[in-house]
Amino acid sequence: MAEKDSAVPAAETSEVPYAMVGRGLDPPAAASAFAPNLELGDQKLILSWLEKSRAEDGSIENRLQFSTLQSREWSAPVTIAEGPNFFANWADFPKVIEAAEGTLFAHWLAKTAEDTYAYSVNLARSDDGGITWNSLGILNDDSTPTEHGFVSYVRERTGIRAFWLDGRATLQKGGSMSLRTAYVNETVERSELLDDKVCDCCSTDAAIVAGRPAVVFRDRSANEIRDISIIRSVTSRLGGRSDSESEGTGGSEWSDSTPVSADGWEIAGCPVNGPEMAAHGDLTAVAWFTASGDQPQVAVTFSSNGGVDFGAPLVIDAAGPLGRVDVVMDGADGAVVSWLATGDDKAEVSLQRVSVDGRVSTPLVVARTSASRAAGVPRLVRFGELLYIAWVETGNAAGSRLRVREIELSSLTLGEPRSS
């Protein structure tokens, strides 16, 4: 296991074929790095990513790396795990999250059988700031050779609560992908079933809403309507479950799945384009992509009562966006949404600020990349009055590389209210 070295000054982007806004803070990642994720820790940013390497026998291995940004300096990257059995995917990417007292948790995906989508979620924990990592085993408490992934987290007490898509029921005739949750600390507790039929490969996202965990995801009805739903904890207890609680949807612990927006998007396959959620107290924002009526759109909606009811969606891009959204609260009465818009033959990494009363900023194009899957999913966090966004720049002669930029929140000036 590699150890942390001295801090590495973040590189200012220089040789690029276009002007990018904000300050470039490129991480110390290899030129072919991919699948980035950005999280906010205690007074620092946590960036994780995957890199490929060639083993002595000529086989390709993957390694999960992470680095932290403090005072605009990146720590030397640390390898959390590596091996030939990784399931490495542009949309279903690993994450590192900091819980109480600096404890770090990480997950990555590893193959469990020859089938392409047979993989499980591996977990590790670090109690020394990421210098060394101890395996916690598998998040999903089954051994079926099926898909398990698209993990999201919230912090609970000294540990974390994880949500993920679980394919154990797909081995049965007519079985569907499900949504499950488990509390993780020094061990992984038994999982709970939240929804027994969800979209197969759209990412989930979770947040503490009104003091309780909640998760958003792309649901799936019997007639293939795949709109965004939310499930909320309906008790104040955080962390763990009692022996008396039984597995199942609803009940005293979790709400039923309820729609965030009734788009009515009927689609026979998964669009690989999940929702994102952010919250501050009772105020909750959810952003998502839909192509209902064959009209691709990125939209956002707010709830002022802890995710129970959401207002009418505000469409922020209806000009054929790719989606791949993220969202953060703006610290006032609104949120900032990131997504991949389309422009000429490129995709545009875009930001827009939106308030509860319908005011919006002019969309800000942060950078341009390709419209391919290799461009990944841009990740956004807010730290005080600064925004940080990470993405994969690809589609040019120089090859692909990870980018991070720092943008002042004040550069997104709200205008007059407009209707959805």
- Residue reference for tokens 């898909």: 147
- Summarize pLDDT for 309-327 with one digit per residue, the tens: 999 999 999 999 999 999 9
In the numeric block, which tokens belong to residue 324? 């791949």
User: In whole angstroms, what is the distance from residue 340 CA to residue 274 CA?
Assistant: 13
Q: How confident is the model at residue 196 (pLDDT cuts 50, 70, 90)?
A: very high
| Rounded-to-integer distance, Cα 193 and Cα 246, Å | 10
Q: Whose CA is closest to 330, among 275, 210, 415, 412?
A: 412
Model pLDDT for residues 3-22, shown as the tens digit of each residue: 333 344 444 333 344 457 89
Q: Given this model, what pLDDT does residue 396 score?
A: 72
pTM assigned to the model: 0.91
Instruction: Supply the pLDDT for residue 59.
Output: 78
Q: What is the pLDDT of residues 18-74, one digit of tens each?
A: 457 899 999 999 998 999 999 999 999 999 999 998 777 777 899 999 999 999 999
Which tokens go with 253? 């612990």
**pLDDT mean across residues, the chain:** 90
62-67 LR contacts (CB < 8 Å, sep 24+): 62/86, 62/88, 64/94, 64/106, 64/108, 65/29, 65/33, 66/96, 66/106, 66/130, 67/8, 67/27, 67/28, 67/29
The predicted structure's pLDDT at residue 397: 67
CB contact at 8 A, 349 and 367: yes
Query: Which region among 49-58, 152-161, 214-223 has the lowest average model confidence (pLDDT)?
Result: 49-58
> Amino acid letter at 108?
W
| Alpha-carbon gap, residue 341 to 264, rounded angstroms | 22
CB within 8 Å of 226: residues ≥ 6 apart: 199, 202, 218, 219, 220, 265, 266, 267, 270, 271
- Whether residue 402 is predicted with pLDDT greater than 60 in this model: the reply is yes
**85 HSE (CA, 13 A, CB side):** 11
